[in-house]
Amino acid sequence: MKPKGKNENEVGLLEYLEDIIGTNKYVTPIDEAYKRLEALNEERASKYQRVKLIQKDKEGLEETKKEAEKHLSMEKEIIDKQSILIQIERLQADEKTQEAEKKAKAIEQKLDEHKTEMEQFSEEVKAIEESFSKEEKEYQKMAKALNKAKEKFTRFEREQIQLQEDEKHLKAQIKKLSTGLEKSEQQIEQKTKAIEESTQEKEACEQKVEDLAEPLAKAEKQLEIMFEGIKDETAPLHLRLEEEQKKLMPFQKEIDAAQAGLGLANNERNIFLSKSQAAEAKLAEANQDIERLRTTIGEREKRGKQLQKDQEQCREDLKEKIQELESLSGKDIELMQEIGLARSKIDELRNNLNESQTQNKVLQKLTALKKTLPGIYGRLGNLGTIENLAKYDIAISTACGRLDDIVVADTHTAQECVKYLRNNNLGRATFIILEKIQNQARQAEADFRAPANSERLYDLIKVKQPEVKLAFYFALKDTLVTDTIEMATKIAYGQRRYRVVTLTGNLIDISGTMSGGGNKPKRGGLAKSVQSDIDPAALNKELEKYNKIAGDKSLELHELREHHTRLELIIEQLQHKQEALRKEVPRIELDIKGLTQQLGEIEARIPKLKEECRLEKEDQNKLKKLEALVAEKEKILSKAKKAAESVVTEIANIENQIANAGGSKLKKQREKVQQISADIDTAAETATKLSVVIASAKVAIQKLQSGIERDKKKLAALQTDIEKKKKHREEITEVANDVLKDREELENSYNEKSEAMKSFRKEYEQKKKAYNQCRTTEVDLLNQFEDEKKKVEELQKRTYIYAAKLDKLSKKKLGLKIDDDDHVDVPAILNVKELEDYDPQALQAEIAVLRQEQSTLSPNINALKEWRTKHSEFLAKKEDLDKTTEERDAKRKEYDDLRKKRLDEFMAGFSTIRKKLSEMYKMITLDDGDADLEPNDSLDPFSEGISFRVRPPKKSWKYIYNLSGGEMTLSSLALVFALHTYKPTPIYIMDEIDAALDFKNVSIVANYIKERTKNAQFLIISLRNDMFEQADRLVGIYKTENCTKSITINPATFAMPIPQTENCTKSITINPATFAMPIPQTENCTKS
């Protein structure tokens, strides 16, 4: 075990002994007392340093305090003289107030008479305005109703136009169908007539063939007779002719058949082609209609675009004019406001001019002296400005009471100015002498850090002449400006006192007095721009400027109202034009829609017509077959003619020979036969062709009749539709007529109301104009009255101001009271006689002298207050230091007492244990050794701990940690026994303490425990016979069937010897109560 634990969680020999002795109960109180003592020492040192610093600061303020006290004495004298001056000024203001009140009363009487007249005029205007407002509402209501009626009629009109266009389109379709029907019927009639004519012609041809058959037979018979007459001569030729004719007969039959087939094929082909040709004619007609409709639609669209463009232009013009009208309405109000502002400015300038004539009289006269006295700079408020003056105007005007003072360069200039004012009886003025305030230049230019959320007014001021800026510091010092009264209070009454003004005019002085309130805070003290002086001529010029502005704006307002009337007329015309365009555009759109619909229908028919022109595939195949048949028949005919050509030529030659043989008579007869045969052939061929024509005409008639039936059905449907449209249009027309009638009635009423409103408005404007003129007169009178009233109020206000100034001076003088021990008298209030004894100029001069003397001082009232504060603080801090010292001394005594008590009690117990330890060790070692407990620090055993030193038998002294195991065990047991002797413990538990001991020392320890420790119970775990032979009880531990068991034995009752067997050690368990129970035994096993 170490002599002492390294930390509070580690236990050393010292802590172990203290726990036994019981002095560890003092450890925590001692530590706490030590910590508190250290804290008090630090606190006392800190407070001591503060006391020293305060004492040093107080000693440093002694000179400044004396100068401040002198300044306060002079300030009290100045306040008393200023009080007398203010009382004199108040007396003069009261006299002026009485004169102004008389003048104001006269104007008020005249104004009352005019007001009576105005009240009657006002009632008339008010009645007209009410009537006009009522009529205007009714007029607007009628306008809305008229617009609704127009919109309703427009809807009906559009629907009617749509129905008209639909009817027009249907009529066009009906007309087209009717024309088609007429053409079809005409074609049928023509075809029927053609059939009849062809039939008659065919019958005539057939009849002609029949009629020519007999002449032909006669002619042939005559020709045969004539041939018989020359038979002999022409017999060979006839034989050859017959032979050739026989040869020709097959060819002729073939030629006839080919010609008949070719004619039939040509007729069929022509009939087939007539269908496609008719379709091509319709297609060409449809294309012409498409071209015509597209041209018409293009013209309509062009017209529609132009109308839309006109409509858009009209809309934009109307919008522009309405916006211009609305802007004029706004300008009307603006101009009236500008006129009002100009008149207000005129009133303000008149008041300022009146005031400036009074206030600036002294300044003007002094300004005139600049030529002879160049040291005059001018009024302080005109020599500087602030950039954002609107924000700081009230603050600077309130905080700087010297803005009306005259700034001069030196004392000589000030004296000359005072002399000039006194000699000319011009009044009085206060002067700031730059020469006398130069001692404040260093303070003005020194680094200054304003508290948070505040600014120094002096830093905000901008001047043109740098030398005059010091005058502003003289007037303001370190006055701060802040936003709110809360922030001003926090800054002014802080650790360091400041003079603070708020943006709203609340002022807290260094003395602690606070001023503020009222509805009209002071403003206008500082110029908006740096100027040398105020020129009344400039005010007159500005007054003329605003009079001109008011006149110009009134003229502009009159022109604006005339322009307003013209715009209303233009807007009305544009609205009518827009209405006409609004009606025209839908008509064009509907027309384009109808034409587009027709164009679409025709274009939809084009593919069908083209399809009809192209023929169907079956028809094309049939046409190809017919073409092929015609070609084939022509080929056959050509082939047959070619084959018969030699025979025909031969027959012609033979017939010529025969004809020549018979002479001219035979030739004529033959020609006759040929002519008749040719006529018969021609008639037969014509009959055949007519048969084909008749058949074709019948087919065409059937097609035309089916087309007529189809067109008649379409025509009936179209007629039904047009009847419905017509009926619907008539219904809409009837309703639209009613709406139109209502609209016309509303338009008439609206027009009548509009005319009435124009005359009413004209009458109202005339009445209003007259009222305004009368009002202008009233305003002039009122302005005069207000001017006088303001003058009275200003004079009364001056009286109140003088009273407030007196009160302020009283408060200011009372504010000079530094603490409750100071005695300050309030300035006396004098009566009229007493005031007459005083000369204001002399008082002013005395005040100036005092001010001049004050300016040579550099007082710091704060230093005086600070000295007294420091003195009070010094006493308070010293008292606090004394209390802390007393508390520190008491805590030190408590700490020392606890340490002494701990040491005394510990050393008493330590000595006893030390003595017993030596005895115990000697007893164990049979007086052959020794042991001792030794503090490492004899003066403070608690600092370094306790060492355990042992001298084993026949050895030198050693520390316990340098001993062997057995020696260490004996030393430790000796300490335990010594502690037991000092402070017995009921129970001791020892685990194999005899392990490192020999039998002798085990026996000594066991006997000591048995004999000397009757007052405690020892529980010892041991394997040594010499130890447990001395035990009062033995507890055995054994294991059977994987289970630990125990048994307790009283060794004193043992009498039986334990039997032994070969190669096996056995034990028996005895019931101490009976000693008769047999002990179970097993081979190769030990039991207890």
Whole-angstrom distance, CA of residue 950 vs CA of residue 914: 12
Give the pLDDT confidence score for residue 479 in this predicted structure. 92
Cβ atoms 970, 924 nearer than 8 A:
yes
Cβ atoms 810, 161 nearer than 8 A:
no
Tens of pLDDT along 71-119?
777 877 888 888 888 888 878 788 778 887 888 788 777 777 777 777 7
| Strand, helix or coil for residue 746 | helix
Tens of pLDDT along 242-294?
777 677 677 677 776 776 666 666 766 666 566 666 667 777 777 887 888 78
CB contact set of 680 (below 8 Å; sequence gap of 6+): 208, 209, 212, 213, 216
- Reply yes or no on whether the pLDDT at 377 is more than 70: yes
Tens of pLDDT along 927-980?
888 998 888 887 888 888 899 899 998 889 988 888 888 888 888 888 888 888
Cβ atoms 384, 462 nearer than 8 A:
yes
Question: What type of residue is 1034?
Answer: L
Q: Which residues of 489-504 are buried (b: 16+ CB within 10 A; e: fewer)?
A: bbbbeeeebbbbbbbe
Whole-angstrom distance, CA of residue 38 vs CA of residue 58: 30
Nearest to 578 by CA among 154, 1048, 100: 154
Through-space distance between the first and last CA atoms of the chain, rounded to whole angstroms: 38
Give the pLDDT confidence score for residue 500 in this predicted structure. 92
Cβ atoms 1017, 988 nearer than 8 A:
yes
Q: Is the dihedral of CA 835, 837, 838, 841 positive or negative?
A: positive
Nearest to 911 by CA among 12, 5, 1, 21: 21
Beta-sheet strands, E only, within 15-173: none
Tokens of 786: 């207000």
Whole-angstrom distance, CA of residue 851 vs CA of residue 432: 9
Cβ atoms 1008, 924 nearer than 8 A:
yes
Tens of pLDDT along 563-593?
777 777 888 787 777 777 777 777 777 777 7
Whole-angstrom distance, CA of residue 390 vs CA of residue 388: 6
Q: Which residues of 780-796 are buried (b: 16+ CB within 10 A; e: fewer)?
A: ebbbbbbbbbbbbebbe
Whole-angstrom distance, CA of residue 889 vs CA of residue 877: 18
Task: Give the mean pLDDT of 619-635.
Answer: 69
Instruction: Find tokens 């508190």 and name the residue.
Output: 36
Whole-angstrom distance, CA of residue 938 vs CA of residue 909: 16
* H runs (alpha helix) in 369-410: 389-399
CB contact set of 1052 (below 8 Å; sequence gap of 6+): 1032
Tens of pLDDT along 990-1031?
988 888 888 888 888 888 888 877 788 888 898 888 888 888
Task: Give the mean pLDDT of 287-302.
Answer: 82
Number of alpha carbons in the 13 Å side-chain half-sphere of residue 1032: 9
* Residue 307: band (very low, low, confident or very high) from pLDDT cuts 50, 70, 90: confident
Element (H, E) at 1043: strand 1043-1049
Instruction: Find tokens 């036994």 and name the residue.
Output: 20
Nearest to 181 by CA among 738, 718, 897, 621: 718
Alpha-carbon Rg of the chain, whole angstroms?
74
Distances (CA, A) of 714 to 289, 707, 708, 887: 20, 11, 10, 130
Whole-angstrom distance, CA of residue 1045 vs CA of residue 1037: 6
Task: Give the mean pLDDT of 32-40.
Answer: 89
Nearest to 947 by CA among 988, 908, 989, 917: 917
Whole-angstrom distance, CA of residue 685 vs CA of residue 548: 119
Number of alpha carbons in the 13 Å side-chain half-sphere of residue 368: 7
Cβ atoms 591, 168 nearer than 8 A:
no
Give the pLDDT confidence score for residue 217 in this predicted structure. 81
Q: Could you count the other beta carbons within 10 Å of the beta carbon of residue 163?
A: 21
Choice among 193-197, 811-815, 834-838 with the minimum mean pLDDT: 811-815
CB contact set of 695 (below 8 Å; sequence gap of 6+): 267, 271
List the beta bridge partners of residue 385.
462
Tokens of 650: 């031969």
Q: Could you count the other beta carbons within 10 Å of the beta carbon of residue 13?
A: 19
Cβ atoms 917, 982 nearer than 8 A:
no
Nearest to 817 by CA among 12, 40, 73: 73
Instruction: Find tokens 């002095």 and name the residue.
Output: 23
Element (H, E) at 930: strand 930-935
Question: What type of residue is 831?
Answer: N
* Residue 234: band (very low, low, confident or very high) from pLDDT cuts 50, 70, 90: low
| Strand, helix or coil for residue 349 | helix
Task: Give the mean pLDDT of 412-424.
Answer: 83
Nearest to 335 by CA among 125, 552, 181, 546: 552
Q: What angle do CA 659, 663, 665 make, to 5 degrees?
A: 95
Tens of pLDDT along 116-136?
777 777 777 777 777 767 777
DSSP per residue over 350-370, as a string? HHHHHHHHHHHHHHHHHHHGG
Task: Give the mean pLDDT of 1075-1083.
Answer: 39
Give the pLDDT confidence score for residue 1044 in this predicted structure. 92
Nearest to 917 by CA among 995, 854, 843, 979: 979
Cβ atoms 668, 258 nearer than 8 A:
no
Give the pLDDT confidence score for residue 71 in this predicted structure. 77
DSSP per residue over 595-625, as a string? HHHHHHHHHHHHHHHHHHHH--HHHHHHHHH
661 vs 317, more confident: 317
Instruction: Find tokens 């606090």 and name the residue.
Output: 880
Whole-angstrom distance, CA of residue 263 vs CA of residue 251: 18
| Strand, helix or coil for residue 60 | helix
CA 620 to chain CA centroid, Å, is: 78
SS (H, E, C) 36-52: HHHHHHHHHHHHHHHHH
Task: Give the mean pLDDT of 777-795.
Answer: 72
| Strand, helix or coil for residue 129 | helix
Cβ atoms 402, 475 nearer than 8 A:
yes
| Strand, helix or coil for residue 471 | helix
List the beta bridge partners of residue 406.
379, 431
Tens of pLDDT along 698-722?
777 777 777 778 777 877 887 787 7
Whole-angstrom distance, CA of residue 293 vs CA of residue 2: 127
Across the chain, mean pLDDT equals 77
- Reply yes or no on whether the pLDDT at 898 is more than 70: yes
- Reply yes or no on whether the pLDDT at 332 is more than 70: no
pTM of the shown model: 0.32
